[in-house]
Amino acid sequence: MAEVRQGPPKGIRPEWLILLILIVSVPLIGYHTYRRVSFEFNNIVAALQTHPCTYAAAGGEWDMSRLRRTGKDYLVHRQDEDFRFNVCGNAVEKPSECVSLLGRENVRKAVGYQTADGVCYYMGLLRTGKWSLIKGSRPGDGVRLSYTGGSQCDGATQRSTHFHFECNPKAGLGRPVAVFGDCEFVVAWETALACPNRQSTMWVYLFWGLTGVGVYLAGGFAINVRYRHLPPDLESVPHVDILRRMGASLLVALAAAWSLGGAAGGAAWGWLVDRVPAAGGAGAAARDA
């Protein structure tokens, strides 16, 4: 006996609301997921070129790449010493003191130089760059970028540099305000970039979950039409009854919220309830994929 199907319900089609939410949500959440994947990809690319200028730890993310300079180095003066350095890259220029003392070709590339009258020291090597939290239990305080492998200091000790990027939402990019230490330099720096962005994997799971639902519905629709010879309409979507009930529940909930808000609540409630089909009424004969 040929299968008898009821016609589509009259009025608002609640299942369309659920399908619309699905259609709109997937690209929006997908864009958020793309940004997350792009962040990780940039991390890998940066690591291959020099070292990452981004960092993720303890549920936070930091991107300090805007502090990297290409035209002029940062300069901090301390008594009779000058410190010239860059962030996430070698110093742009070789100081004149180093060139005069060693010759331009003999001046090694370094993240920074400590110079004074007749002396030139390397502050650290770029390839040794390493990120960490200033305080492991408090990511909101900021992050530390450390370089080692600088010029010899006392005995077997080599110079090293530690940038302390401290979180200050009002500081903008900020600038280095002081350099402390003699062999192990600490560069104090307040910047808004040191304030962590919270990372979340929820959007990734949500994106793939909704995408899976969409693929299932589209595939089930194709199977019902192609192999079960059902008409190519909404009633051939798998579990359309469930979608209809979900949409009806959402519409009723929206109407209830509108009613509680006091803005034409009674009229809106009656208008929607009159047009929402009974749950499970129409389309019950549609077959699931």
pLDDT at residue 248, as a whole number: 75
Q: How far is CA 238 from CA 43, 229, 244, 256, in A?
A: 42, 14, 11, 29
The CB-side HSE value for 67 (13 A sphere, CA atoms) comes to 25
Dump pLDDT digits (tens) for 68-91: 999 999 999 999 999 999 999 999
CATH of domain 60-198: 2.70.130.10
pLDDT band per the 50, 70, 90 thresholds, residue 42: low
Q: Does residue 2 surpass a pLDDT of 60?
A: no
50 versus 140: the higher-pLDDT residue is: 140
Could you tell me the residue ranges of all domains in the chain? 12-58+200-289, 60-198
Q: How many residues belong to the chain?
A: 289
pLDDT over 60 at 287, yes or no: no
Say which residues have a Cβ less than 8 Å from residue 229's Cβ, sequence separation at least 6.
none
- Asked if pLDDT for residue 61 goes beyond 60, the answer is yes
pLDDT of residue 37: 58
Tokens representing 1 are 């006996």
Q: What is the mean pLDDT of the chain?
A: 80
Residue 168 pLDDT: 96
Mean pLDDT check: name the lowest of 169-173, 174-178, 235-239: 235-239
Lowest mean pLDDT among 25-34, 96-105, 116-125: 25-34
Q: What are phi and psi of 55, to 5 degrees?
A: -150, 145
The dihedrals phi and psi of 185, each to the nearest 5 degrees, come to -80, 140
Nearest to 250 by CA among 16, 27, 23, 11: 16
- Give the mean model confidence (pLDDT) for residues 197-213: 68
Cβ neighbours of 67 (radius 10 Å): 23
pLDDT for the residue numbered 28: 66
Q: What H or E segment, with its residue span, contains residue 269?
A: helix 265-275
pLDDT of residue 38: 61
- 74: enclosing H helix or E strand: strand 74-78
- The average pLDDT across 198-219 equals 70
CA distance 167 to 138: 11
Angle of helix 14-49 relative to helix 202-226, nearest 10 degrees?
A: 130
More confident residue, 141 or 289: 141
Residue 281's pLDDT band (boundaries 50, 70, 90)? very low
Chain segment 209-262, per-residue pLDDT in tens = 777 777 877 887 788 778 888 888 777 778 777 777 777 777 777 777 776 766
pTM for the structure as a whole: 0.56
pLDDT exceeds cutoff 70 at 164: yes
Return the closest-CA partner of residue 33 out of 199, 197, 207, 198: 207
Q: What is the pLDDT of residue 199?
A: 54
